[in-house]
Structure 1
Amino acid sequence: MAQRYAVIDLETTGNSSKKGDRVIQFAGVAIEDGIIVEEFSTFIRPGQDIPVFIEELTGITNEMVKDAPEFQEVASRIVEFLRDSCFVAHNVLFDLSFLQDELIRCGFEGFYGSAIDTVELAKITKPTSDGYKLNQLAKQENLQHDRPHRADSDAYVTALLFLELNKKLAALPLITLKKLHKLSFSLKSDISDLLEELMSEKTAKNEVRCPDLNIFRGIALRKSIHEDGNHHVGISHSYPFDHAKKAALMQTAILHMEYRQQQFKMMDLVYESFHEGRHTIIEAGTGIGKSLGYLVPAAFFAKHHGKTVLISTHTIQLQNQLIHQEIPKLKVMLPFDIHTVLLKGRGNYLSLAKFERALREKDDNYETALAKMQILVWLTETETGDKDELNLTSGGKLFWERIQSGGYIDPELLQPWSSVDYYERATRLAQKADFIITNHAYLASGFLEDERMKPVEGFVILDEAQYLEQAASKYLGSRLDYISVKTLLNRLGTYEQKLLLYKLEKLVRENKLKGLKSITILNEALNNVIYDLDHLFYLLAGIAEKHLSGEGTGRMAIQVKEKPEWRQVTTLVNRMNNQLHYFIKELVERLDALKQKDSLGKNPRFFIGEFEMKVEQLREIELLLKEFFIDPTQSFIYTMSYVKSAPHHGLSLSSQPITAGAALWGTFVASQNSVVMTSAILSAKNSFQFFKTQLGIEDMDIKTRCLPSPFDYSNCVKGLIASDMPDINAVPLDEFVKGAARHIISATKAAHGRVVIIFDSDNILRKTYQYVKDLGELEEFTMLAQGITGGSKLRMLRNFQSFEKALLFGKTSLWEGIEIPRDNLSCLVFVGLPFSPPDEPATEAKCLLIAKQGKNPFLEYLLPEAIFRVRQGFDQLVRSRHGKGVLLLLDPRISTAGYGKEFMEAIPGLKWEEVSLHTLERKIEEWSYL
């Protein structure tokens, strides 16, 4: 590192020097030849009060800077420190631009040397990092960071981080560095200079190739997993039916292991189910140790009988939890080796053939160039090619859609990469594995359709089985939204825009193809489709706004045949589809004619493959529009979701079978030798009937068992019922909202944060959140609200966990696929019993179907579903034997309605008490300190 690097950090009174904000602390760390050679830091008197927020964030007070020099007094020292240096900072754009403005304001020349952003550098060198904040990266690199948001500490840690990231770059092979260098000119900081220096050093030293890497067609790849041998080998180790033997096994992997009788019972149930070839439903209460409860017996069965056991769970996150946390424990305790393969949908894997072609393209925007650089580095690390290892930007995720496995690609272009193809390797390994770990979404779609996986079917564990119906709905249903359709049409572009359609026409002309329609006619058809698309979604938004009451978002049924206002929509869809059909037909004729040309090179053939994928997407749109508005299927529900803040841009159409679970899983379960379905919550009203009906397995011979939690709920959770909450059906909505808000404020103060509030109505959620916020009594708390404060559900929950004093307003779907770690939730509030709104399209359709069968929809569906949701929330509240939590119900119906007793009895051992708003705070405090 011959270059001198000046690593800088500033603390300021705000974000903009131009708006009068000033520096309150400057810190710099100089690096020469890879060593820290100089440090300089100083407080700076800003000439204005430091805002309270900045004081709390940095710990820098007005008292601390009152005798410090002003900026102009230290400016010359700063200029000297920066001389002949490359400016380095974490989020360099902020520090550099702010410092430039301050230097110029004080009559000095600004800094005009090269600059490197350690955020950008970290994204490239650490493409699998969970996050790129300084504190996150410092933790990952084991760098001590005692005083975050103080310039001296931040600058020093950034300097150490920069040195670590530079080492990672230096460890890359020369061939990867060259490709990175070529792409680096699209970046925002001058990382190209750093790469150039490293390339020169490697060339001079005559680089020794890393034994863990293969250079394949000019791309450095991590060597693949060894694939020899068949892991289906019978073993002499018998399953340990004796509980003492189970305990001895588990003690080898788990320190201070608790003897859990129910966990051992679960192990026996799973083993017997597989051995006897029968189906079993097991409700394994919180704290049993469910994962090992099925993994241990499944391992013994797989090895002893030479079978593959398929394990499916709800989400990719839970898949990863099994692979990275539970399977390693299992391997330590077993007296034999177990081979596990993680298998996901094809689109989760990188197509190296497509990526190779994408690297040759030169029209990179910033996010595409960054994604390519991240992937090049990642390929030297990954053995799976699984995108979930990567942390891509939103633009990077769009780029991934172009390079993911699947879709059409010319076999001749694919063939050179077949030996190292990630998806093909995963399926080969799966065929030899003892365990295949997958997720419900892939099981519902790709896995069942892949003939190569048929031999491994037969013995199955479905964990988090309550989400199987949801997975079936997504697979069997469809979705269409304005943004995705418009994005596809924009990517094609008219001929004048010189995008994909232009490139196709250029190929047609270069190959002198005859007998095709004029490009002018294609242009006109595309423009007509775009015009009709805009008109259609504006029309749909008008219908939605007219029919959906309340604020924010809503969902309504598409009723083309029942309502006259839909006739205009039908006419428009017919016209749009005619234009779309014609446009597709003309594109296909061009593509087919080009494919007949033997003289086409590799690049044109690759382009044709990509374009054919776009044509398939257009065909799908044509079919969906027809299904939604012209020829709907009787057994499906068709709905329209509307966002008032983005009337047509935020509008989406979706479909799902009325009985999605029964349409898929009944057939699946019947076709297997043995299926074990498990979760912490599968029963309602002391019965599995609700769950079995959802999956269409109510008439099958299935063994069922409830294994209660080892926790004493009466000592873990206090159940409180607000006795003075108004009935939502008996008072104006605003009065109900005010009552809910007052109870939420009292509960939050008493619990000192970590409060989650669940709503079954978007409208009530929004109104309550706003009312609590406007009252201003919880200003010391961080308030998060699903669908309001922004970000994904997962991101919002991470934010919730990172603040000691936080409250989260969420919908009934909040828990789906999410587990809040123990001690991160103190109080759970249900604002109203969580019944599905009867006028919600899917609920209405299911209730009508149940009524047609001569049954009571409330007793058969609405009530058990609501009880199920309360139990699901309660499960999040109870995470340890010694925790203390509060479950608060803001609904008088639990005490007054005949069915209220069923909610109270749904959680055995939980003691309920009625409280008024006046006594609520005291009751929670008394319970918390018991």
Structure 2
Amino acid sequence: MIVQRYVVIDLETTGNSPKKGDRIIQFAGVVIENDRIIEEFSTFIRPGVEIPVFIEELTGINDLMVKDAPVFEEVAPKIVEMLSNSCFVAHNVLFDLSFLQEELKRCGYDGFFGSAIDTVELSKLLLPTSDSYKLSYLAKQEGFTHTRPHRADSDAYVTAMLFINLKKKLFSLPLLTLKHMYRLSLSLKSELAELVKESIDIRKKSSPIHNPNIEIFRGLALNNSDAIPPNSEGDNPEYPAARSEKLAMLSKAFSNPEIREGQLKMMDIVYHSFEKSTHAIIEAGTGIGKSLGYLLPAVYISKTTGTPVMIGTHTLQLQEQLLGKELPKLRAMLPFPVSAVLIKGRSNYLSLAKFERSLREKEDNYETALTKIQILVWLTETVTGDRDELNLTSGGQLFWERLQSEETIYKGLQEPWVEKDFFERAKKKAAKADIIVTNHSFLLADYRSETTFFSGILNLVLDEAHHIEKAASRYLGDKLDYITVKTMLNRIGMHDQKQLLYRLEKMVQEYEINCDDPYQSIEREINDFSYEFEQMFYTLARLAEKNASAAGYNRSAIRIQHSNEQRGFLKPAQLLAERLIHYLAEIYKKILFRTVQLQNMQEQLKKNQLFFLNEIDSVLAGILQVKSMLHEFFLNPSEENVYFLETNKTVSHSSISLYSQPIDAGEKLWKEYLTRYDSVVMTSATLSVKGSFRFFMDQLGVPKEKGIQKAIFPSSFDYRKNVKALIAKEMPDINRVTADEYTNALAKHIISAASASKGRMLVLFTSNEMLRNTYEKVKESGRIEDFSLFAQGVSGGSRSRLIRNFQSFEKAVLFGTASFWDGIDIPGEALSCLAIARLPFSPPDEPITEAKCNKIRLEGKNPFSVYALPEALLRFRQGFGRLIRTRDDKGILLVLDRRIVSAKYGEEFRRALPSLEWMEAGQLELSKEIDDWL
């Protein structure tokens, strides 16, 4: 019988375990019938135990508030009555239901035996693109008022409203999608199958819902609202060369446009670079309006040449900003239409052919079933097929690898889907666009590709260009890690495991192919390879442990140099590598023979068998890649590359990854790729050191030719008015104390600064270890217990999620390293104090840094002045750029590293921010200055 009555429950409790004495302190229930709330009930409950401090802080419920409340035994009859003949609904149903069951049993009741629905799970299915499934986030996203999070009455009401909305969305889905969902929902944790079945039954009895944006194709309901635009036609518009023309255009997009001379001059430089096929390097400070500074001339040159202009960025945030904020402004300014598209690497897009096939598979574990339903719902919404739109679980991300788009030699697999294929459609739209936005990674992938995607494009803008050299070093290198190789072996499997080898052998027998080598010989080689691969990584783990103990702490990266010191460890690894390469060659040869024989019979093969051969091809490519990496890393290293291994803090063999990266990737990138374009405009807010682009040009191998235009447009912000720059006088010299003594002093200064600034503080570090130790000391001090502390690599979550959490609390401190120095945008009062724990020099034993410095030293130059110092100065400016993001922002810059005044080079860091007045102060005086300024 279909349940039409739902009771939404929320509990506040003293802890997580009723069996250990935790009790309910507030109960709330909301009854829903026919998608309407018909009853609400809530009450405080006297728990008979003290409410812990952290629960009081979380919920706002204290012992006084529950002193005269009923005990659970008095409320239980009402709860049992409410739940009778109902479906139990909760946000994270397992907690509320299991806790309530224990309490009911304790009071002599049988408990609840009806259906249960989890709105977290339901939200994941029906809102697959949501950034978070926390109740407060979903409430805001869906437009509900949630005045008192972590109070049962408010949480239950908001959960009920969310559930009603989700039910309505479920009912609105195409009937075909619902039918797919029903089969898959049987593998879910809560009883959502009943809800889906109810929607199907109602839909069958109702008039068909016509949605013109939905198309049914080969058993899938797809969003068809994104037509590929025709080529734009018309006269070539004339570029607005006059200052007055540009200002008139800007006035169409801005009600009261601010005249930024740097932006106007930048537009002309970019246009003339494109027009004359020359290159340009432009530093455009914060507030200049850099994006429009290159977008406007890019559109005009695109219209003139009839080819798109490529915009390459480092961060997703800037890509979203360009398409979501800057393009609408540009369109408002121009008297003609502008088309812009975002394109990424092929593996970012869903293969509809693979997904269609996956729906025919009968065995689905929980993660796979969940992900398939998410994709089914998403297909009714997405026009891009881009995985970054989805919020997938870790299991879902693994499943995506089976579904991602890839090139195939089996054309028959894609034929039905060619017109619908997301990647192919993205390419067609890009070819007809004025502006193509992509990331540095896709540009670099194109560089490595045998068939370039961007062959017809003449002009390129590299935004966030200060990242390109290091991105090239990573992307043009190779990686071999334990987990990837073991995953590959598991995919091949033994015959009795019924993986790829088993299925391949079945096809060989079916089509009566004669093989000289039985499959048992492949199994033996896989077993031998697996055993010796384990031995190799145990050997590498011992090398990592030796280096870690010698340094006094566990380093994350260890350079492999084939030196006398490492020879004792590397010799066994080299012998193992030779044998591993032999095993891989044999495995590859025998699987390839079988595959080629079957490929020659393509016309006779079934479609699912062609899909299978496509999987085999990807495994064969993986085998070749592992073989090549082992050979280069251990037997034939190149002098142009640096080799190193990375491991986690425990130095377990399974955590080891091997890397090969070019030492001078930037130079290679410039000579072999960027010069393919007629014009490359490189821009960023931080490219110059002491007013010169020489360091950036040297890193990228850009020749010292006169044809390259260079310009620096300083920020339009008045930093002296906006920023108080402070130096901590009582911090110890970092080179004269232990790491523990330094982090103790850091923690004390951070606590006092955070108290004075009332949070809203970002602390930047140069090492994960120093960050972690300082964070722990601040947390354990208990001096800012009412603050929310978030630490990269400790608190969990992505960078964007940490920033979002930081912004949602007024009294918060965010500890960041690496990527937090650059590319994050926290405008307004959410960030009022920026502390720099240590001047941002790269560790001298970091493999790439060490290799670069050695090379510079061999050239007879000083690596500190030529490389280490300029790189640190640029990074220092990038870190400072996080503080003031708009003209009205006001903040504190607090430098905690005494070297900024005590070292000879300290003055160069102070001069790097020329408009600031610096002040040294002791800890008490620092607090007063911060408090007064803010």
TM-score, normalised on structure 2?
0.96
**Bigger shift: 825-834 or 319-328?**
825-834
Partner AA of 2:357 in structure 1: R
From 689, 701, 704, the counterpart of 1:696: 701
What corresponds to 1:740 in structure 2? 746
Aligned-pair CA distance for 1:233 = 4.1
Partner AA of 2:553 in structure 1: E
1:165-204 per-position Cα deviation (integer Å, ceiling 9, x unaligned): 1111111111111111111111111111111111112222
Partner AA of 1:575 in structure 2: R
From 565, 583, 607, the counterpart of 1:602: 607
Contact 1:232 1:434 in 2 (8 A): no
Change (3 A) 1:765 1:28: closer
From 835, 858, 862, the counterpart of 1:829: 835
- Does residue 150 of structure 2 align to residue 149 of structure 1? yes
- Does residue 652 of structure 2 align to residue 651 of structure 1? no
What corresponds to 1:85 in structure 2? 86
- Does residue 570 of structure 2 align to residue 564 of structure 1? no
Alignment partner of 2:815: what SS?
A: strand
From 849, 868, 871, the counterpart of 1:862: 868
**Bigger shift: 28-37 or 507-516?**
507-516
Aligned-pair CA distance for 1:228 = 4.9
Aligned-pair CA distance for 1:433 = 0.8
Long gaps (5+) in structure 1: none
- Please show how residues 222-301 of structure 1 align to structure 2 within 5 Å: 222-223=223-224, 225-231=226-232, 233-236=234-237, 238-301=238-301
CA distance in 1 between partners of 2:198 and 2:897 (Å):
68
Change (3 A) 1:140 1:792: closer
Alignment partner of 1:286: what SS?
A: coil
What corresponds to 2:430 in structure 1? 430
Contact 2:446 2:452 in 1 (8 A): no
What corresponds to 2:794 in structure 1? 788
**Bigger shift: 245-254 or 574-583?**
245-254
Alignment partner of 2:162: what SS?
A: helix
CA distance in 2 between partners of 1:550 and 1:479 (Å):
27
1:897-923 per-position Cα deviation (integer Å, ceiling 9, x unaligned): 332221111112111112233422222
CA distance in 2 between partners of 1:487 and 1:453 (Å):
30
- Does residue 581 of structure 2 align to residue 577 of structure 1? yes
1:519-575 per-position Cα deviation (integer Å, ceiling 9, x unaligned): 332222222222222222121111111112243542111123543221011111222
- Does residue 594 of structure 2 align to residue 590 of structure 1? yes
- Please show how residues 70-81 of structure 1 align to structure 2 within 5 Å: 70-81=71-82
- Does residue 59 of structure 2 align to residue 54 of structure 1? no
CA distance in 1 between partners of 2:163 and 2:421 (Å):
34
Partner AA of 1:826 in structure 2: S
- Does residue 358 of structure 2 align to residue 358 of structure 1? yes
Q: CA RMSD in A?
A: 2.1
From 626, 630, 633, the counterpart of 1:628: 633
CA distance in 2 between partners of 1:334 and 1:447 (Å):
33
- Please show how residues 751-770 of structure 1 align to structure 2 within 5 Å: 751-770=757-776
Change (3 A) 1:226 1:813: closer
Change (3 A) 1:374 1:314: same
Change (3 A) 1:289 1:490: same
**Bigger shift: 631-640 or 7-16?**
7-16
**Bigger shift: 599-608 or 732-741?**
732-741
- Does residue 619 of structure 2 align to residue 614 of structure 1? yes
CA distance in 1 between partners of 2:671 and 2:103 (Å):
69
TM-score, normalised on structure 1?
0.96
Change (3 A) 1:233 1:572: farther
Aligned-pair CA distance for 1:693 = 1.1
Change (3 A) 1:95 1:710: same
Contact 1:690 1:864 in 2 (8 A): yes
Alignment partner of 2:79: what SS?
A: helix
1:830-876 per-position Cα deviation (integer Å, ceiling 9, x unaligned): 23321122222211111122223332211111111010011001111
Change (3 A) 1:899 1:87: same
CA distance in 1 between partners of 2:45 and 2:747 (Å):
44
What corresponds to 2:119 in structure 1? 118
Partner AA of 1:893 in structure 2: R
Partner AA of 1:292 in structure 2: L
Partner AA of 1:198 in structure 2: S
**Bigger shift: 245-254 or 360-369?**
245-254
Alignment partner of 2:763: what SS?
A: strand
CA distance in 1 between partners of 2:86 and 2:425 (Å):
48
Alignment partner of 1:528: what SS?
A: helix
Long gaps (5+) in structure 2: none
From 679, 682, 685, the counterpart of 2:687: 682
1:468-498 per-position Cα deviation (integer Å, ceiling 9, x unaligned): 1122112211112112222222233222223
Change (3 A) 1:409 1:174: farther
Change (3 A) 1:224 1:584: farther
1:273-326 per-position Cα deviation (integer Å, ceiling 9, x unaligned): 222322111111111121122222222332344332111111233212211222
**Bigger shift: 692-701 or 204-213?**
204-213
1:201-224 per-position Cα deviation (integer Å, ceiling 9, x unaligned): 222225244221111111111115
Alignment partner of 1:479: what SS?
A: strand
Change (3 A) 1:491 1:203: same
CA distance in 1 between partners of 2:651 and 2:847 (Å):
22
Alignment partner of 2:604: what SS?
A: coil
Change (3 A) 1:178 1:761: closer
Alignment partner of 2:655: what SS?
A: coil
1:328-378 per-position Cα deviation (integer Å, ceiling 9, x unaligned): 222222211101111110011111111111111112111111111111111
Aligned-pair CA distance for 1:504 = 2.5
CA distance in 2 between partners of 1:605 and 1:306 (Å):
40
Change (3 A) 1:359 1:481: same
**Bigger shift: 505-514 or 698-707?**
505-514
Contact 1:552 1:763 in 2 (8 A): no
CA distance in 2 between partners of 1:225 and 1:773 (Å):
50
CA distance in 2 between partners of 1:174 and 1:424 (Å):
28
Change (3 A) 1:156 1:733: closer
CA distance in 2 between partners of 1:662 and 1:31 (Å):
66
What corresponds to 2:917 in structure 1? 911
1:39-78 per-position Cα deviation (integer Å, ceiling 9, x unaligned): 2222211111111222222222222211111111111111
**Bigger shift: 278-287 or 294-303?**
294-303
Contact 1:560 1:567 in 2 (8 A): no
Contact 1:233 1:304 in 2 (8 A): no
CA distance in 2 between partners of 1:141 and 1:891 (Å):
46
Change (3 A) 1:515 1:674: closer
CA distance in 2 between partners of 1:232 and 1:573 (Å):
59
What corresponds to 2:107 in structure 1? 106
**Bigger shift: 545-554 or 173-182?**
545-554
CA distance in 1 between partners of 2:499 and 2:473 (Å):
36
Contact 1:516 1:589 in 2 (8 A): no
- Does residue 726 of structure 2 align to residue 723 of structure 1? no
**Bigger shift: 863-872 or 23-32?**
23-32
CA distance in 1 between partners of 2:11 and 2:758 (Å):
34
**Bigger shift: 787-796 or 379-388?**
787-796
1:223-270 per-position Cα deviation (integer Å, ceiling 9, x unaligned): 15322521264344x333343443333333334433322222222222
- Does residue 312 of structure 2 align to residue 339 of structure 1? no
CA distance in 2 between partners of 1:910 and 1:666 (Å):
39
Partner AA of 2:48 in structure 1: G
Partner AA of 2:355 in structure 1: F
Aligned-pair CA distance for 1:3 = 1.5
Alignment partner of 1:401: what SS?
A: helix
What corresponds to 1:217 in structure 2? 218
Aligned-pair CA distance for 1:413 = 1.5
Contact 1:408 1:613 in 2 (8 A): no
Contact 1:812 1:834 in 2 (8 A): no
**Bigger shift: 780-789 or 87-96?**
780-789
Aligned-pair CA distance for 1:399 = 0.8
Report the count of equivalent residues: 927
CA distance in 2 between partners of 1:697 and 1:170 (Å):
59
- Please show how residues 460-471 of structure 1 align to structure 2 within 5 Å: 460-471=460-471
CA distance in 1 between partners of 2:419 and 2:318 (Å):
30
- Does residue 537 of structure 2 align to residue 533 of structure 1? no
CA distance in 1 between partners of 2:476 and 2:333 (Å):
40
Partner AA of 1:779 in structure 2: E
